[in-house]
Every structure is written in structure tokens, then in C-alpha cells.
């Protein structure tokens, strides 16, 4: 059976961009069991309120809800279990320093399949204050009104 090529998006964490300034992103492999992969292929995953944390020398994804697979039977997985992420040692060490010293948080922004393997995009994020969120919303509203005005002018 040929392996699928390219990238297929499964879930995007839109709330991450609303709640955080994402300074940098990197790709990590995701350690899953069989029924989790099948649930992901069906597009069933929730990234809201999830984060990544460093435990010892490893990185784990916490709070990601992958529902049980309907045909899984007794081999089904725990929906909210912490899942190990795969990174190179130097990437992990660099992230650990930034999270410890500068107060960053590691937030998953996207889960996707790349060449048949499950990947997660992790963002190095700083929390936004309420006024930052309001500024972003005002900027988006202004941009929309400008686009609406330009679209209206072109019809004359």
C-alpha cells in the first residue's frame, strides 16, 4: 500500500493565536497508539486548552482530547492522556531554556499528517493581555471595513 504524500491538516488551534503572541514555531513528531491515529484520520481532535510541557528530558503534549475510536473495542486509548513529542535534543534544550528564563509557554497550533506521519506544530508563545486582544480585534475590524469599502467602489 503506497504511503500518502504531502500534508493533510487535521486540526488548527485558532484560540492560540488569539490568546498568545507566537514568536516561533517548530514541528514535532507525535507518539500515538493505533486507535488514536484512526481517530485523527477521521479529523476528531480538540486542541483547545492544551499545552506542551517538559518533564525531565522529554516533551509531552497535555490536554489534547482525541476521542475514542468507535471500532476500537477493548484496545481503545485514554482520550486525555499526555502524549510524548519527538524533537532533537538540541531543539528541546533550547526550548527548555526559553521556557524557564523568559516565561514562554509551549502551545500546539496545528496537528497534521506529513507523508503519513502525525506531526504537531508547537508555538513558543507569550501570553497576551486583554488590551492586546482588543487592539487585534480593532485592527481586524478596520481591515474588514477597508476591504468592504474597496469592494463597494469596484462595482460602480
Strand positions, DSSP E, 38-149: 51-55, 58-62, 83-86, 105-114, 117-127
Alpha-carbon distance 99 to 129, whole Å? Answer: 18
Report the pLDDT value the prediction gives residue 115, as an integer from 0 to 100.
87
Q: Tell me the C-alpha distance between 119 and 26, whole Å.
A: 10
Residue 1 has pLDDT above 70, yes or no: no
Does residue 155 surpass a pLDDT of 70? no
Which superfamily is assigned to 8-128 in CATH?
Small protein B (2.40.280.10)
Q: 59 - beta bridge partners?
A: 54, 85
Domain ranges, ordered by start, for the chain: 8-128
* Per-residue CA distances from 37 to 20, 77, 89 (Å): 28, 10, 25
What confidence tier does 108 reach under pLDDT thresholds 50, 70, 90? very high
Residue 92's nearest CA partner among 26, 47, 31 is: 26
Q: What is the pLDDT of residue 60?
A: 92
Name the pLDDT band for 27 (thresholds 50, 70, 90). very high
Amino acid at each position: 500500500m503506497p504511503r500518502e504524500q504531502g500534508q493533510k491538516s487535521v486540526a488548527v488551534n485558532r484560540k492560540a493565536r488569539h490568546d498568545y503572541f507566537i514568536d516561533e514555531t517548530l514541528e514535532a513528531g507525535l507518539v500515538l497508539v493505533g486507535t488514536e491515529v484512526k481517530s485523527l484520520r477521521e479529523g476528531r481532535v480538540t486542541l483547545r486548552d492544551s499545552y506542551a510541557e517538559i518533564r525531565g528530558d522529554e516533551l509531552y503534549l497535555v490536554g489534547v482530547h482525541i476521542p475514542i475510536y468507535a471500532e476500537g473495542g477493548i484496545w481503545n486509548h485514554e482520550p486525555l492522556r499526555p502524549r510524548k513529542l519527538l524533537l532533537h535534543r538540541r531543539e528541546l534544550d533550547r526550548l527548555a531554556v526559553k521556557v524557564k528564563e523568559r516565561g514562554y509557554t509551549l502551545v500546539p497550533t496545528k496537528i497534521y499528517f506529513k507523508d503519513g506521519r502525525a506531526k504537531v506544530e508547537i508555538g513558543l508563545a507569550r501570553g497576551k493581555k486583554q488590551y492586546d486582544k482588543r487592539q487585534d480585534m480593532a485592527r481586524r475590524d478596520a481591515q474588514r471595513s477597508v476591504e468592504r469599502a474597496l469592494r463597494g467602489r469596484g462595482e460602480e
